Amino acid sequence: MCVAKKILFVVLDGAADRPAVDKTTPLQAADIPFLDRLAQEGILGIMDVIAPGTPPGSDTAHLSLLGYTPSEVYTGRGPFEAAGVGIDVRPGDIAFRGNFATVKDGLVVDRRAGRISDTHELSEAIRKQLRLDCEFLFKESAGHRAVLVLRGEDLSPSVTQTDPQHTGAMLHSKPKTNDASSRRTANIVNDFTRQVCSILADHPVNRERTLANQLPANAVLLRGVGSVPQLVPFEQRTGLNAAVIAATALVIGIGKLTGMRYIPTKGATGHVDSNIEEKVKNVNKALREHAFVLLNIKGADEAGHDGNFNAKMHFLTRVDAALSNLTIDESTLVVITADHTTPVSLREHSGDPVPFLIRGKGVRTDQTNAFNEYIAAGGGMNRIRGRDMMPVLMDLLGKGTKFGA
């Protein structure tokens, strides 16, 4: 049967944009001959990853792109972050993502503690000294980030976060429902906050930071609470053994919780300085052993959040050069897309559709000749939803599910 056999699914995190400098987007302004060639050899379209006008989170976006229905399986970002940093989360666990932060007189001064880069010693102190009314796991992630997992009976995700999302506010969790498990969990979270502030108040790392006129990391803010979801493994859903190559804990965690093999990459940071070239080498190796490889490249999203058009444009140019070293032929379906739009003008996710291309055996090519938001809007795939992508790809593999006789 003359069909493709494998899928390389490349997510250029936050790469899509709105017109900005000279009424162009960073994707239009970037020098991307490889992606443009894939566009000429394939078919383009635009995609509402969740729904028209709905800004996707990276978590719900990736779930949708992988064929899951976020409204049915998504409980919060915390469980994915926890799995992504290496915690063996279990059904029933309650997980939070966290930020090391600076607090003064009970009020948040800086939500990221001056973007502290190394919190291992602070985290080790928390692990050793913290005592809670349930089992817990605490682990640092990249930069100022961390995760907290609560494990035990009578716990609930129905509590408010302690991260106020702005400065000048207090840290306090409340139950969202009037039941014993919610009240107990809120009390545990508040106890966590009190103890952590006490443990970190006079920690040697913070004394050194204060002497160096740096903000102390003397608190941990919690958000993204969720219970660990029970996801049908990706291979069971599709018949495709899968691998994930990413730098961010979120995407790694989504891969792990959907049963994908995680392949670490040396020098992959999730920022504009990430070692994309090494990621591409890992992709080439992974495609020899896996029928589905998910590659997430994050830096464009970071530049969008920073409002930096030139950084986003130059990063996409570098991505194109790295991707040109992919070892692929027509038997591998190549998908290039974004998980959401991150306009430099907004510095936040928006609900604009994202461009996508599909190239490989069996694909009906169109007349498009470049990969960007404008050309994709006139592509042969027209406009689809994120949850449509996997059925389209499965059909191209000759594995579509017939509806009717």
What pLDDT digit, counting tens, does each position of 213-256 carry?
999 999 999 999 999 999 999 999 999 999 999 999 999 999 99
pLDDT tens column, 143-193:
899 999 999 999 999 999 999 999 999 899 999 999 999 999 999 999 999
What is residue 262's three-state secondary structure? strand
CATH code for the domain defined by 6-73+231-396: 3.40.720.10
pLDDT tens column, 365-405:
999 999 999 999 999 999 999 999 999 999 999 999 899 98
- Backbone φ and ψ of 163, nearest 5°: -80, 115
pLDDT at 1 over 60: no
Q: Mean per-residue pLDDT for 302-323?
A: 97
Q: Which pTM value belongs to this model?
A: 0.94
pLDDT tens column, 88-135:
999 999 999 999 999 999 999 999 999 999 999 999 999 999 999 999
Domain ranges of the chain: 6-73+231-396, 82-227
> Do 207 and 224 meet the contact criterion of CB atoms below 8 Å apart?
no
Question: CA 373 to CA 375: how far, in whole Å?
Answer: 6
Which strands sit side by side in the sheet containing 261-262, from one edge to the other? 261-262, 242-245, 292-297, 6-12, 332-337, 354-359, 43-48, 383-385
